[in-house]
Homo-oligomer: A and B are copies of this chain.
Amino acid sequence: MSFVLREVRHLLVDLDGVLFVGTTALPGAADFIAWLRQRGIAFRLVTNNATLTPRGYVDKLRVMGIEVEEDEVFTSALATALYLRKQRGTQSAYVIGEEGLFEALRGASVMLESEHPDWVVVGLDRKLTYDKLATGALALQRGARFLGTNPDLSLPADAGLLPGAGAIQATLTATTGIRPTVIGKPEPLMLELAMSQLGGDLSNTAMLGDRLDTDIQGAKALGIPSILVLTGVSSRRDIEQSKATPTLVVEDLAELIEVWTEDGTR
């Protein structure tokens, strides 16, 4: 093993493909969360999804038998709000998004403004209209800065892939020539903010996820070790073609507990 699990004191945990798939808990998910608590490893459940609120995730997980607190959930919407609060001169934003994003921005006291906002913030919005795109494009041309909650180009649904936040951002980039700063994975900004919230640093924080192109790439961009669990999108075979290589690969969460326990007691 190229890093020592027992030195990990803080863990960033992806949700879909790690704790559940769709609306079904993955085997060992509840046990894994309990094991982290017992072991004293602080964690944040991090997700690129900016449409749900932390409360929405707590409820969703509870139905699956997984108990977490609201402040253990960190969405790209919260990361976006936190990022905005740290920027100088941020008072207002024009927002294309859903409730999770609006709630997070309200929590950060960002005022909503369509004519002359400081920022145009774009996440997934399933009520998108041409007028919203036009308003966002014009605000960017008037000098607003451009922020994207997450870069996902598509959103998996039963019928196929639907347009994601990144595809909506692409419309504004095509119109104006301006590219957004993007918060969610594989960009390192959200992961960095989550690590900082935990009080962790590059020496004692790791990322656990199921996707090479977001979770593992994001960990690489931030500079922390990563654990790939094979219960989601990426397979062992995908690793060869990947730009980012996980530090550790496990079949499932049960194997991770086992390996971690062994390592921790050595």
- Copies held by the complex: 2
Q: Tell me the complex Cα distance, A137–B125, Å.
A: 15
- Which of B125, B137, B142, B153 is within 8 Å of A174, CB to CB? B153
CB of A221 within 8 Å of the partner chain? no
Binary per-residue interface labels of chain A (160-174) against chain B in the complex, 1 for a CB within 8 Å, 0 otherwise = 111110111011111
In the complex, A134 has a CB within 8 A of chain B: yes
The 8 Å CB contact of A163, one of B127, B162, B175, is B175
Is the CB of A30 closer than 8 A to any CB of chain B? Answer: no
List A residues 125-172 near B (Cβ within 8 Å): 125-130, 133-134, 137-138, 141-142, 153-154, 159-164, 166-168, 170-172
Question: In the complex the two chains form, is B138's CB within 8 Å of A133's CB?
Answer: no
> Which chain B positions have C-beta within 8 A of A134?
162-163
- The answer, among B125, B130, B154, B174, for a CB contact under 8 Å with A170, is B174
Residue among B138, B162, B171, B172 making CB contact with A137, cutoff 8 Å: B162
Question: A176 at the A/B interface (Cβ < 8 Å)?
Answer: yes
Looking at the complex, which one of B129, B162, B166, B171 makes contact with A168 (CB distance below 8 Å)?
B171
Contact A127 B128, beta carbon cutoff 8 Å:
no
Known: A125-B130, A130-B128. A161 touches B176 (CB 8 A): yes
Complexed CA–CA distance, A205 and B116 (Å): 48
Given contacts A127-B130, A129-B129, contact A163 B159 (CB under 8 A): no
Assuming the contacts A125-B130, A128-B133, asked whether A161 and B141 have C-beta atoms less than 8 A apart, the reply is yes
Contact with B along A1-34 (1 / 0, CB 8 A): 0000000000000000000000000000000000
**Per-residue 0/1 for A88-99: is the Cβ within 8 Å of any B Cβ (1 yes, 0 no)?**
000000000000
Partner of A138, one of B126, B160, B171: B160
Instruction: Determine if B141 and A160 form an interchain contact, defined as CB atoms under 8 angstroms apart.
Output: yes
The closest CB in chain B to the CB of A128 belongs to B130
The chain B residue with its CB closest to the CB of A167 is B174
Q: Is the CB of B138 within 8 A of A153?
A: no
Interface residues of A (CB under 8 A from B): 125-130, 133-134, 137-138, 141-142, 153-154, 159-164, 166-168, 170-176
Q: List 29 A-B contacts (CB under 8 A).
A: A127-B129, A127-B130, A128-B128, A128-B133, A129-B129, A129-B130, A134-B162, A137-B154, A137-B160, A137-B161, A137-B162, A137-B163, A138-B159, A138-B160, A138-B161, A138-B162, A141-B161, A142-B160, A154-B175, A154-B176, A161-B175, A161-B176, A162-B175, A163-B171, A163-B174, A167-B174, A170-B170, A170-B171, A171-B171
